[in-house]
Amino acid sequence: MAVATQSLEELCINSIRFLAIDAVEKAKSGHPGLPMGAAPMAFVIWDRFMRYNPKNPKWFNRDRFILSAGHGSMLQYALLYLAGYDSVTIEDIKQFRQWESKTPGHPENFMTAGVEVTTGPLGQGIANAVGLAIAEAHLAAKFNKPDAKIVDHYTYVILGDGCNMEGVSGEASSFAGHQGLGKLIALYDDNHISIDGSTDVAFTEDVSKRFEAYGWHVLHVKEGNTDLDAIAKAIEEAKSVTDKPSMIKVTTTIGYGSPNKANTAGVHGAALGTDEVKLTRSNLGWEYEPFVVPQDAVNHMRKAVERGAGYEAEWNKAFDAYKAKYPQEAAEFERYISGKLPDGWDQVLPTYTAEDKALPTRKHSETCLNKLAAVLPELIGGSADLTHSNLTEIKGKGEFQKGQYQNPNIHFGVREHGMGAICNGIALHGSGLIPYGATFLIFTDYMRAAIRLSALSQAGSIWVMTHDSIGQGEDGPTHQPIETLASLRAIPKLTVIRPADGNEASGAYKVAIERAKQNAPTLLAFTRQNVPNLAGTSIEGVTKGGYTVVDSEGTPELIIIGTGSELNLAVTAAEKLTAEGKKVRVVSLPAWDLFEAQDAAYRESVLPKAVTKRLAVEAGTSFGWHKYVGTEGDTVTIDRFGASAPGGVCLEKFGFSVDNVLAKAKALLG
Amino acid sequence: MAVATQSLEELCINSIRFLAIDAVEKAKSGHPGLPMGAAPMAFVIWDRFMRYNPKNPKWFNRDRFILSAGHGSMLQYALLYLAGYDSVTIEDIKQFRQWESKTPGHPENFMTAGVEVTTGPLGQGIANAVGLAIAEAHLAAKFNKPDAKIVDHYTYVILGDGCNMEGVSGEASSFAGHQGLGKLIALYDDNHISIDGSTDVAFTEDVSKRFEAYGWHVLHVKEGNTDLDAIAKAIEEAKSVTDKPSMIKVTTTIGYGSPNKANTAGVHGAALGTDEVKLTRSNLGWEYEPFVVPQDAVNHMRKAVERGAGYEAEWNKAFDAYKAKYPQEAAEFERYISGKLPDGWDQVLPTYTAEDKALPTRKHSETCLNKLAAVLPELIGGSADLTHSNLTEIKGKGEFQKGQYQNPNIHFGVREHGMGAICNGIALHGSGLIPYGATFLIFTDYMRAAIRLSALSQAGSIWVMTHDSIGQGEDGPTHQPIETLASLRAIPKLTVIRPADGNEASGAYKVAIERAKQNAPTLLAFTRQNVPNLAGTSIEGVTKGGYTVVDSEGTPELIIIGTGSELNLAVTAAEKLTAEGKKVRVVSLPAWDLFEAQDAAYRESVLPKAVTKRLAVEAGTSFGWHKYVGTEGDTVTIDRFGASAPGGVCLEKFGFSVDNVLAKAKALLG
The values of phi and psi at residue B337, to 5°, are -75, -15
Q: Which residues of A touch B483 (CB under 8 A)?
A: 487, 490-492
Question: Nearest by CB to A205, which of B27, B204, B215?
Answer: B215
Q: For A649, name the nearest residue in chain B, comparing CA atoms only.
A: B99
Residue A385 and residue B202: Cβ atoms within 8 Å?
yes
Question: Nearest by CB to A490, which of B121, B122, B623?
Answer: B623
CATH superfamily to which B33-84+114-270+298-307 belongs = Thiamin diphosphate (ThDP)-binding fold, Pyr/PP domains (3.40.50.970)
Distance from A355 to chain B by nearest Cα, in Å? 28
Any B CB within 8 A of A616 CB: no
Average pLDDT, chain A: 96
Any B CB within 8 A of A19 CB: no
Q: Are A123 and A171 in contact (CB under 8 A)?
A: no
Q: What angle do the packed helices A167-179 and A416-428 form, to 10 degrees?
A: 70
Question: Nearest by CB to B475, which of A31, A418, A609?
Answer: A31
Residue A413 and residue B23: Cα distance in Å, rounded?
28
Residue B479 and residue A106: Cβ atoms within 8 Å?
yes
Question: Nearest by CB to A387, which of B196, B212, B443?
Answer: B196
Strands B434-440, B155-159: pairing kind: unpaired
Any B CB within 8 A of A514 CB: no
CA distances to B175, B261, B282 from B275, rounded to whole Å, are 46, 11, 11
Catalytic residue among B108, B378, B416, B618: B416
Q: Which residues contact B23 (CB under 8 A, 6 or more apart)?
A: B74, B77, B93, B94, B96, B103, B291
**Contacts with A, B 588-607, CB within 8 Å:** none
Q: Is B66 exposed, middle or buried (0-12, 13-18, 19+ CB in 10 A)?
A: buried
Question: Nearest by CB to A105, which of B120, B209, B475?
Answer: B475
Distance from A283 to chain B by nearest Cα, in Å? 29
Residue B602 pLDDT: 98
Q: For A648, name the nearest residue in chain B, comparing CA atoms only.
A: B99
Q: Which of B179, B209, B414 to mutate to test the interface with A (most CBs of A within 10 A)?
A: B414
Distance from A380 to chain B by nearest Cα, in Å? 16
Residue B209 and residue A207: Cβ atoms within 8 Å?
no
Full-model pTM = 0.98
Q: Are B481 and B488 in contact (CB under 8 A)?
A: no
Residue B26 and residue B14: Cα distance in Å, rounded?
18
Tell me if domain A33-84+114-270+298-307 and domain A345-531 are identical in fold: yes
Residue B668 and residue B218: Cα distance in Å, rounded?
67
Backbone φ/ψ region at A458: left (φ over 0), alpha (ψ -120 to 50), beta = left
Q: How confident is the model over A520-526, as a mean pLDDT?
A: 98
Residue A641 and residue B492: Cβ atoms within 8 Å?
yes
Distance from A427 to chain B by nearest Cα, in Å? 18
First-last CA distance in chain A: 86
Q: Are A257 and A284 in contact (CB under 8 A)?
A: yes
Catalytic residue among A136, A171, A276, A416: A416
Residue A32 pLDDT: 67
B312 has catalytic annotation: no
Q: Where are the domains of chain B?
A: 33-84+114-270+298-307, 345-531, 545-669
Q: Are B34 and B25 in contact (CB under 8 A)?
A: no
Residue ranges in chain B whose pLDDT is less than 70:
1-4, 30-32
**Contacts with A, B 146-185, CB within 8 Å:** 161-163, 165-171, 174-175, 177-178
Backbone φ/ψ region at A40: left (φ over 0), alpha (ψ -120 to 50), beta = alpha
Residue A267 pLDDT: 78
Question: Nearest by CB to B205, which of A195, A213, A449?
Answer: A213
Alpha-carbon torsion (B22, B25, B28, B29), positive or negative: positive
Residue A266 pLDDT: 77
Q: Which residues of A touch B641 (CB under 8 A)?
A: 455-456, 492-493
Any A CB within 8 A of B648 CB: no
Task: Tell me which fold the domain A345-531 belongs to.
Answer: Rossmann fold (3.40.50)
Q: How many H-runs (helices) and E-runs (strands) does chain B carry?
A: 27, 20
Residue A15 pLDDT: 98
CA distances to A131, A144, B56 from A380, rounded to whole Å, are 11, 18, 53
Residue B165 and residue A171: Cβ atoms within 8 Å?
yes
pLDDT surpassing 70 at residue A3: no
β-bridge partners, B465: B439, B525
Q: For A393, name the nearest residue in chain B, comparing CA atoms only.
A: B196
Any B CB within 8 A of A626 CB: yes
Residue A205 and residue B213: Cβ atoms within 8 Å?
yes
**Contacts with B, A 92-121, CB within 8 Å:** 97-101, 104-106, 108, 118-121
**Contacts with B, A 465-504, CB within 8 Å:** 473-479, 482-483, 486-493
Q: How many CB pairs under 8 A join A and B?
A: 365
Q: Which residues of B touch A624 (CB under 8 A)?
A: 486, 490, 623-624, 626
With cut-offs at 50, 70 and 90, classify the pLDDT of residue A370: very high
Any A CB within 8 A of B562 CB: no
Question: Nearest by CB to B643, which of A99, A269, A473?
Answer: A99
Any B CB within 8 A of A396 CB: no
Distance from A626 to chain B by nearest Cα, in Å? 5
Residue B330 and residue B60: Cα distance in Å, rounded?
14
Helix (H) / strand (E) element for A417: namely: helix A416-428
Residue B488 and residue B482: Cα distance in Å, rounded?
12
Please list, residue by residue across A48-61, b when 16 or more beta carbons sit within 10 angstroms of its beta carbon and e when fewer do: ebbbbbbeebebbb
**Strand ranges (DSSP E) for B37-183?**
64-67, 155-159
The interface predicted TM-score of the complex, written ipTM, equals: 0.98
A495-511 confidence digits (pLDDT tens): 999 999 999 999 999 99
Residue A162 and residue B195: Cβ atoms within 8 Å?
no
Task: Tell me which fold the domain B545-669 belongs to.
Answer: Rossmann fold (3.40.50)
Residue B627 and residue B475: Cα distance in Å, rounded?
32
**Strand ranges (DSSP E) for B210-353?**
217-221, 246-251
A231-244 confidence digits (pLDDT tens): 999 999 999 999 99
Residue B363 and residue B371: Cα distance in Å, rounded?
12
Q: Which residues of A touch B477 (CB under 8 A)?
A: 104, 108, 456
A176-233 confidence digits (pLDDT tens): 999 999 999 999 999 988 888 888 999 999 999 999 999 999 999 999 999 999 999 9
Residue B529 and residue B526: Cα distance in Å, rounded?
9
- For the ranges A60-69, A266-275, B365-374, the lowest mean pLDDT is seen at A266-275
